[in-house]
Amino acid sequence: MFVLIITDVVDIDRFVANARVVSLSRRAPAASTTQAAASAASSSSPGLDLVLDETIMHPQGGGQPSDVGFIQWDAQPERRFTVVDVRADKGAAAVVHHYGSFGSQDLDDAALATASAGAPVTIHVDESKRRLHARLHSAGHLLDSAVRNLGHTGLVPSKGYHFPDGPNVEYLGELEQTVRDGLPAALNIELQRLIATGGDVQVKYVPTSTLEGGGSGHSLAAPSAVPAQETSEPLRYDSPDAVRMVNIGGVECPCGGTHVKSIGDLQNVKVTKVKRAKGTLKVYYEVSPM
DSSP strand pairing (54-55 vs 5-6): parallel
* Spatial separation of the C-alpha atoms in residues 9 and 237, rounded to whole Å: 9
Which residue number, 157 or 257, has a Cβ lying nearer to Zn ion? Answer: 257
Question: Binding residue for Zn ion (CB under 5 A) from 59, 100, 249, 257?
Answer: 257
Which residue number, 100 or 256, has a Cβ lying nearer to Zn ion? Answer: 256
Which residue number, 195 or 255, has a Cβ lying nearer to Zn ion? Answer: 255
What end-to-end distance do the CA atoms of the chain give, in Å?
43
249 sits near Zn ion (criterion: CB under 5 A): no
* Spatial separation of the C-alpha atoms in residues 186 and 271, rounded to whole Å: 9
160 sits near Zn ion (criterion: CB under 5 A): no
The answer to whether the CB of 237 falls within 8 A of the CB of 10 is yes
The answer to whether the CB of 122 falls within 8 A of the CB of 253 is no
Per-residue x/- marks for Zn ion, 188-227, CB under 5 A? ----------------------------------------
How many helices (H) and strands (E) are present in the chain, helices listed first? 5, 15
Q: CB of residue 142 vs Zn ion: minimum separation in angstroms?
A: 10
Question: Binding residue for Zn ion (CB under 5 A) from 255, 271, 274, 281?
Answer: 255
Q: In 3D, which of 65, 57, 124 has the Cα closest to residue 96?
A: 57
* Residue span binding Zn ion (CB under 5 A) among the ranges 80-88, 172-180, 222-230, 239-247: 239-247
Tell me which residues touch Zn ion (CB under 5 A): 246, 255, 257
